[in-house]
Amino acid sequence: MSPAHVAITGLGAVSPHGVGTDALWNGLLAGRSCAAPITRFDASGHRVRFACEVPDELSDRLPRRLQRQTDPFARYALIAAEEALVDAGLLTPDPRAVRQPVEGVDADRVAVVIASGAGGIDEITTQHQRLLADGPDRVRPYLSIAMPLNMAAGQVAMRHGLRGPASAVVSACASAADAIGTGLDLLRAGRADVAVVGGTEAAINPLLLAGFDAAGAMSRRNDDPAAASRPFDVDRDGFVAGEGAAVLVLETAEHAAARGAAPIAWLAGYGASNDALDPSSPAPDGEGAVRAMRLALTDAGLEPKDIDHVNAHATSTPVGDLAEATAMATVFGDHRPAVTAPKSSFGHLMGAAGAIEAVVTVQALHHGVVPATLNTVHQDPACMVDLVLGHPREGVLRAAMSSSFGFGGHNAVLVVTSAAHDLHDRDR
């Protein structure tokens, strides 16, 4: 473990599998698809009429004041952050309390970086409809604090009295991975001792889904939603929308040791790049992804052969999956880490994708299990990564990579190492 690595001491999640990291992990291991007809709005006029929705109403998990103030994207973040802080031993939970100050740390030295791609899109579209139907006097006053992208981080900081740097990162579907990398950088720079990081998204919204469908990015398998997301399959035809949030608590190794907190895993490296090529399509040869992967490996002080597992971005789009598989072939060569593509189970959480997949990556390392990818029946010969199919794969996992790529050419890659297995024991 390098001194530059930081401890991951807490995890929290709200996902289409339910509330909590246990629900997320158990759903993945069970091989359950969350894709089903949309209930969030009347989708009968849409070409895409299914998604992966958060199943719980959540009204009993936050005080009414916070529910009134917030868009669902911030609510998801608040619930995930509470679980992560409790998991890290920094909080005694009280879901009814508007204020829940953290315990046993200097709150001035706790940063919050929580990303989103769309922010308060439900608030924006709902209040716009009210404006058009009833006039400006009917727009609710909470609009100004419910819609901004920064308000997930802001609300989490306010609820828990976290007075260090607080911000949002926006880089499309790479946003949450970049937020986690930003937290890593803050800790390494000495600007904080603890960082509450992650991403959140509540974008199952008629406007957004119509727009992504118009761009040709979404699967239209309305007759079989559960099998619609087909990563690396020859018949893949686009992504399936998901929603939720995931939050990780990061600490410097010294801070975690001083308070007796045992790391779940280590965040070892972060790499970011931009294709600088096209607004919506990746570089066909995956060149930008290759640079981000190599930067993350260098940052972690590791070589490609050290990576046992890759949590792939794998949105099930024809061009995206091919570019990612090409990038992995370039980086890893003959080495074949076990690959999973969990969007086949819980959908594409867009701005939150990098966070929920980082949580899954940490769980895979912690349990020594790689969840299986769903729905890949005929793997594309041009995408012949070692994809875990059929059943979860058990084994000793010392280091893993989680990749996230987004519109705008954004590439963000994280490297996580096991807290239980010393990578330096390996014959290198």
Q: Which residues are catalytic, by number?
A: 173, 313, 348
Q: Measure the CA–CA gap between 413 and 286, rounded to whole angstroms.
A: 13
77: tokens are: 């973040």
CA atoms within 13 A on the CB side of 384: 5
Residue with tokens 């597992």: 309
Would strands 410-418 and 244-252 be described as parallel, antiparallel, or unpaired? unpaired
Contact between residue 321 and residue 315 where contact means Cβ atoms under 8 Å apart:
yes
Q: Which of 349, 383, 333 is nearest to 231 (CA)?
A: 383
Contact between residue 395 and residue 368 where contact means Cβ atoms under 8 Å apart:
yes
Helix, strand, coil % over all residues of the chain, rounded to 5: 35, 20, 40
Look up residue 422 and give its DSSP letter. -
Q: Measure the CA–CA gap between 332 and 41, rounded to whole angstroms.
A: 43
Q: Measure the CA–CA gap between 71 and 85, rounded to whole angstroms.
A: 21
Strand, coil or helix: what is 86? helix
Contact between residue 196 and residue 84 where contact means Cβ atoms under 8 Å apart:
yes
Q: Which of 90, 27, 53, 82 is nearest to 363 (CA)?
A: 27
Q: What is the DSSP string of 271-296?
A: EEEE--S-SSS--TT-HHHHHHHHHH
Strand, coil or helix: what is 1? coil
Q: Which residues of 65-81 are buried (b: 16+ CB within 10 A; e: fewer)?
A: ebeebbbbbbbbbbbbb
Q: What is the DSSP string of 358-411?
A: HHHHHHHHHHTEEPPBPS-SSB-GGG---B-BSS-EE----EEEEEEEETTTEE
Q: Measure the CA–CA gap between 250 and 270, rounded to whole angstroms.
A: 14
Residues 6+ apart with CB under 8 A from 113: 153, 165, 166, 167, 168, 169, 179, 180, 182, 183, 186, 195, 196, 197
